[in-house]
Amino acid sequence: MLLEIEDVSLLYGRIQALHGISLTVDEGEIVALIGANGAGKSTTMRAISGIRPVASGRIKFAGEDITKLRADLRVRRGLCQAPEGRGIFPGMSVLENLDMGAYTRRDKAGIAQDLARVLELFPRLAERRKQAGGTLSGGEQQMLAVGRALMSRPKLLLLDEPSMGLAPMLIQQIFTIITEINQQGTTILLVEQNAQQALARAHRAYVLETGRIVKSGSGTDLLHDPSVKEAYLGVA
Amino acid sequence: MTTTIDPPERRETAADKLRQGRHAISERWHHAPRWVRWVLLVAVIAFFYALPNKEFYQYLGPIPTPGANFTQVMFTVSIYVLLAVGLNIVVGFAGLLDLGYFGFFAVGAYTVAVLTSPSSDIKTLWPWLLVVPIAIGLTMVSGVMLGTPTLRLRGDYLALVTLGFAEMIRIAAVSSEFLKGQRGFNQIPHPPGQYADGRPWFGVLDARPYYWLVLTLIILVVIGVRNLTHSRVGRAWISIREDEDAAQLMGVPTFKFKLWAFASGAAIAGLAGALFAGKQNFVNSQNFELLNSIIILAAVIFGGSGNIVGAIVGGGLVAYMIERFRGIELFGIELYEYRFLFFGLVLVVMMIFRPQGLIPNRRRAAEFKDRRKEVIVGE
């Protein structure tokens, strides 16, 4: 088990955002976390990456208890999140952003290799390598966030709404890339509102509702589950 | 619904032209051969070393201050420049709003005063040079003490706490028996060194040696800060300033680097305070008004937050302009009395037309070029 979350609760002030969430991610999987706005998807991500402290419960990564570990040290353990939306560095160029992704690494040859790989995955980024991150379009910024997270060569890549605000064609493209990254050996935990795409691509998935996991199963099972269909796929 | 209003076109083009002009200058600078840049840099430095000599500045037209000893003014200006360079690390690089920076200056000055002055209660009477590193160390410690609880928090807490800190230091200076209030500490020793005939290098009358000392230290500090910003530390600072969450998600230990920025900024203020005390020979509670903190912060923003050259120019210009008003009368009004009115006006105008400062940190792109080359080995 690469990632194991046991009964995690999290508070924003007095508001309880997560009520005892448990989930697991196996090595080599794509696991999707779907749910409506405010269900606690991004909060779950923040708990895993360590940006928000959890109130109770345990988080284990590669056999190690990381519940109390600082976020930056989790990155060093191989757990990297591409933040939601515009979590890129706006004043830095595309290359500087990617370079920041490799902040924890010192193996120059390996970094150069990964940079080449990222630029191959995202040719748009290669075209705009010297442009400031803040001047990119929404889709390009999203790609940059994913590419930057890859630069840390993570064991587990956390993707928070990679398709948010993208045109349908770009959504297709970014999910193709996610599958490709996974096939190259990176385990992925994916948070998505675009349940259709996420379930189609994921090996397994969890459905989150008001801070609780209400359903889980294989991607295809959930895709054909009537209640999921009704609630998240817009099919009556 | 509101309809979009076309921007006034004439001003737009004028601003564009200005921007293009500035851009052209910076382009030319960055593409000039290395030796040209060095020659220019050396010329500028030589100019500032020569500046406080009467034989030199009497030919500079309106630059010398009419109402004050120009050499003294230059010393004050140099202290402000040093402070601006230090505060720029905190505000400009790491993006931490420090409203009480002058408090660290006070800690530096008072450390020197207490440990060297005969009017101090503890009567250690140590020489100035020995106390300087102690003063720097103590300000650093006070920076760490102040930063440890506050830098973990986000947002405006730091600004408030630093504001409170500077006031605390000032009030302690005014009311504590140990810090002597208004009476202050006298006979603080000058920096050491003497000429062959026994006259000291650093006397009471001539401010030039102090100015040269500060100028030399500014150059050393700037070299140090530049190296720091070109390193992993600098990258971490910039990433924290741009997006703290994202920085942490990239594995940057944000708290540690914020504390570092805060402590290094404090250390530079401590050094400035020690230099000030060694020159003035006298330190009392009137030297450390809140206004000074505001002036330095304004200077950094005025010059261009995040750019070392901007901080130097901002600190220098602001300190100089304030003194320049001394002794000028207009319609029977002493302009010096209204100096902060003009200062405020200039700031308001700046914030409207050029909020990024005189020399903004667009240069950062160029600074990163080296690292880019490292990364794109295959290109």
A85-121 tens-digit pLDDT: 668 888 888 999 999 999 999 899 999 999 999 999 8
- Which residue in chain B has the smallest CA separation from A94? B372
In a domain, residue B357? The reply is no
In a domain, residue B338? The reply is no
Give the predicted TM-score (pTM) of the model. 0.85
Give the domain CATH number at A45.
Answer: 3.40.50.300
Contact, A208 vs A41, CB < 8 A? yes
Residues of A in contact with B247 (CB under 8 A): 89, 100
State how far the Cα of A214 lies from the Cα of A220, in Å rounded to an integer.
17
Give the closest-approach CA distance of A101 to chain B in angstroms. Answer: 5
For residue B107, give its domain range.
Answer: 66-288
So what's the pLDDT on residue B378?
A: 37
Considering A131, A152, A173, which residue would you say is the last residue of a domain?
A152
Considering A152, A171, A193, which residue would you say is the last residue of a domain?
A152
Q: Which residue from B219, B129, B372 is spatially nearest to A129, judged by alpha carbons?
A: B372
So what's the pLDDT on residue B379?
A: 34
So what's the pLDDT on residue B374?
A: 38
Q: Which amino acid, one-letter code, is at A60?
A: K
Q: Which residue from B281, B227, B251, B273 is spatially nearest to B93, judged by alpha carbons?
A: B227
Q: Do A103 and B253 touch (CB under 8 A)?
A: no
The SS3 assignment for B102 reads helix
Cα-Cα-Cα-Cα dihedral of B195, B201, B206, B208, to 10°?
A: 110
Q: Do A89 and B377 touch (CB under 8 A)?
A: no
Based on the fold, state whether residues A105 and A62 are members of the same structural domain. Answer: no
- Which residue in chain B has the smallest CA separation from A131? B365
So what's the pLDDT on residue B6?
A: 52
Mean residue pLDDT of chain A comes to: 90
Based on the fold, state whether residues A72 and A175 are members of the same structural domain. Answer: yes
Contact, B87 vs B300, CB < 8 A? yes
So what's the pLDDT on residue A86?
A: 65
So what's the pLDDT on residue A235?
A: 61
In a domain, residue B203? The reply is yes
Based on the fold, state whether residues A117 and A202 are members of the same structural domain. Answer: no
Confidence of residue A3 (pLDDT cuts 50, 70, 90): very high
Contact, B77 vs B323, CB < 8 A? yes
Q: Do A89 and B375 touch (CB under 8 A)?
A: no
Based on the fold, state whether residues A203 and A161 are members of the same structural domain. Answer: yes
In a domain, residue B184? The reply is yes
A131 and chain B: CB distance < 8 Å anywhere? Answer: no
Angle made by CA atoms B138, B289, B273, in degrees to the nearest 5: 35
For residue A125, give its domain range.
Answer: 89-152
Angle between helices B290-303 and B70-87 (to 10 degrees): 70
Q: Do B375 and A99 touch (CB under 8 A)?
A: yes
- Tokens found for residue B59: 């030919």
Q: What average pLDDT score do residues A16-43 get?
A: 92
Q: Do A88 and B378 touch (CB under 8 A)?
A: no
- Tokens found for residue B7: 């921007």
Of B232, B242, B250, the CB nearest to A91: B242
Based on the fold, state whether residues A159 and A145 are members of the same structural domain. Answer: no
In a domain, residue B17? The reply is no
State how far the Cα of A219 lies from the Cα of A205, in Å rounded to an integer.
6
Cβ neighbour number for residue A153 with a 10 Å cutoff: 20
Strand order in the sheet with A64-65: A15-25, A3-12, A56-61, A64-65
* Structure-token match 């001047």, residue found: A135
In a domain, residue A84? The reply is no
Give the closest-approach CA distance of B40 to chain A in angstroms. Answer: 29
Give the closest-approach CA distance of B250 to chain A in angstroms. Answer: 5
Contact, A211 vs A7, CB < 8 A? no
For chain B, how many structural domains are there in total?
Answer: 1
Based on the fold, state whether residues A185 and A70 are members of the same structural domain. Answer: yes
State how far the Cα of B10 lies from the Cα of B26, in Å rounded to an integer.
24
Stretches in chain B below the pLDDT threshold 50: 1-2, 7, 363-379
Give the closest-approach CA distance of A178 to chain B in angstroms. Answer: 19
The SS3 assignment for B68 reads coil
Q: Which residue from B167, B166, B147 is spatially nearest to B157, judged by alpha carbons?
A: B147
Give the closest-approach CA distance of A233 to chain B in angstroms. Answer: 31
Considering A152, A182, A207, which residue would you say is the last residue of a domain?
A152
Based on the fold, state whether residues A71 and A158 are members of the same structural domain. Answer: yes
State how far the Cα of B308 lies from the Cα of B92, in Å rounded to an integer.
9
Confidence of residue A24 (pLDDT cuts 50, 70, 90): very high
Percent of chain A with pLDDT over 90: 60
Per residue in A36-90, pLDDT (tens digit) is: 888 889 899 999 999 889 999 999 999 999 999 999 999 999 999 988 766 888 8
Cβ neighbour number for residue A227 with a 10 Å cutoff: 11
So what's the pLDDT on residue B366?
A: 36
For chain A, how many structural domains are there in total?
Answer: 2
- Which residue in chain A has the smallest CA separation from B231? A103
A43 and chain B: CB distance < 8 Å anywhere? Answer: no
In a domain, residue A83? The reply is no
A residues 55-114 closer than 8 Å to B (CB): 70-73, 75-76, 80-81, 83, 87-93, 95-96, 98-104, 108-109, 111-112
- Tokens found for residue A88: 């890129």
Residues 6+ away with beta carbon under 8 Å from B92: B300, B305, B306, B307, B310, B311, B361
In a domain, residue B364? The reply is no
Q: What average pLDDT score do residues A18-41 get?
A: 92
Based on the fold, state whether residues A168 and A126 are members of the same structural domain. Answer: no
